[in-house]
Structure 1
C-alpha cells in the first residue's frame, strides 16, 4: 500500500445531505404522483447534466416541452434546491476539519452544478477549509469519467498512487481506482474514521 499524502473528499452525501424529495413532499403531497414525477420528469439522469455544465434554463425548457402541464414543478427543482441540501453531516465534516487542522493535504472533487455549488459554499463555510475543489459543472466533466480525476490530480499536483479518494458512489470509487488512485466507499463517518485509521490517519 502506497503512503497517502493527499486526501480527496466527495461532497454530496459525504459532507452535505442531499434529498430532492424534501421540497416535493410539500409540492406534490401524493406519494405516487411525486414518485412518478421524480422518476419520469426531473430524473437523476436529467439533473446530472446540470452537474456536467448544462444551463438550468436549457434544462427546464427541455422538460417543459415534453411535460408542459408540469412546468411549475419543473421550475421548482432549481427554485427550491436550497431545501434539498438542508444540513451538513457534522461527523464527516469534523473528520475533514481534523485532517486539515493536522496539516494534511485535503481537496474536494464533486459532481455539482456550478451555480448550486456557489450557493452551497456561501451556506457552508467549511467548504473553504480544504486546499481547493474541482466542481464538475465548472469544467464540463463528471465522475466517473477518467478525465475528471486526471484533471483534479493535475491541477492540484497530486500523485495518483499517493491519493486517497472518499465517495458515496461505488462507481465513482471504481473510477478513482481506474485513474490510479486509492479509494474508499463512504457509508458513514464511523466507517470512514476506521478507513482513515487503516491508512495511518488518527482522527
Structure 2
C-alpha cells in the first residue's frame, strides 16, 4: 500500500492562527469568573455562536437570544457590538508554521467557522490571511464544521488549483477535536491543534518541512 505525500495544508483560523476568545471581552464585562463562565455556558453559548457562523444574521441571532434572556440584554448585545475585543492578536508560533510551509511552496488554504459579517474585520486586520490560496468561510457558504459538506466545498476549491488531489494528500489543522476528527473520517490527515509545537511535530511526521 503506497502512502501519498501531502500536497496541501488547510488551517482553521480562530484558536489556531488568530487568538479569538469570548473570554477576552467578557473578563471586562463580568469580572467574577464563576458568573462569567455560567454566562458563556448558558447564554452566549458556542451553539448559539455557530448559528451565526452558519449564516444567520447577527441582528436576528441577537434578537432571538434577548427574547430568551431579556435580563441579560446588555451583555448579549455586547457579543457582536464589541466582537473585535474578543481578538487579542495572532498566535505567532503558528504563523511561523504558515511561513515555513509558504517558503517550501506548500499550498495553504483556510477553512473557518466564521460569520460572514465579522470576517471582513479579520481580513482587514490580519494580513497573514491574504497568504492563503483560498478560504472557505462558513457564514458565506452557509455550512459549518464538522459537516462533511463544508469539507467537500473546501476540497472543491483546492481541486480547482490542484486537480486530481486525493483526500490523503490533504492535512487539516483545527483546535476543535471534532472538526479534526471529521477531516480524518473523510480520509484527510486531521491534526488536533493544542499548540504550535505538537502541530509542527505532526506535520513533520507527515513529511512536511516545518
How many residue pairs are counted as aligned between the two chains? 203
Q: Deviations over 1:14-71 (max 9, x none)?
A: 1111210222122122333322221221111111111111111100110111111211
Q: 2:120 corresponds to which residue?
A: 118
2:140 corresponds in structure 1 to 138
Task: Note if contact 1:15-1:89 (Cα within 8 Å) is conserved in structure 2.
Answer: yes
Q: Give 1:143 shift.
A: 0.7
Contact between 2:112 and 2:136, CA under 8 Å: does it hold in 1? Answer: yes
Tell me the equivalent position of 2:158.
Answer: 156
Structure 2 unaligned blocks of 5 or more: 160-164
What's the counterpart of residue 183 of structure 2? 176
Name segments (4+ residues, structure 1) moved above 4 Å: none
Secondary structure of the 1:115 match is coil
Matched with 1:91 is 93
Q: Which residue of 2 aligns with 1:65?
A: 67
Separation in structure 2 between the aligned mates of residue 111 and residue 103 of structure 1, nearest angstrom? 26
Whole-angstrom CA distance in 2 between matches of 1:52 and 1:182? 24
Question: Please, which runs of 5 or more residues in structure 1 have no aligned partner?
Answer: none
- Secondary structure of the residue aligned to 2:90 is coil
Pick aligned residue for 1:7 from 9, 30, 41? 9
Q: SS of the residue aligned with 2:200?
A: helix
CA distance in 2, matches of 1:190, 1:36: 32
Q: TM-score, normalised by structure 2?
A: 0.92
Q: Which residue of structure 2 aligns with residue 76 of structure 1?
A: 78
Q: Deviations over 1:58-85 (max 9, x none)?
A: 0011011111121111110011111111
TM-score, scaled relative to structure 1: 0.95
Asked if the contact 2:6–2:208 (Cα under 8 Å) also holds between the matched residues in 1, the reply is no
Secondary structure of the residue aligned to 2:37 is helix
**1: distance between equivalents of 2:192 and 2:199?**
8
Displacement after TM superposition at 1:131 (Å): 0.4
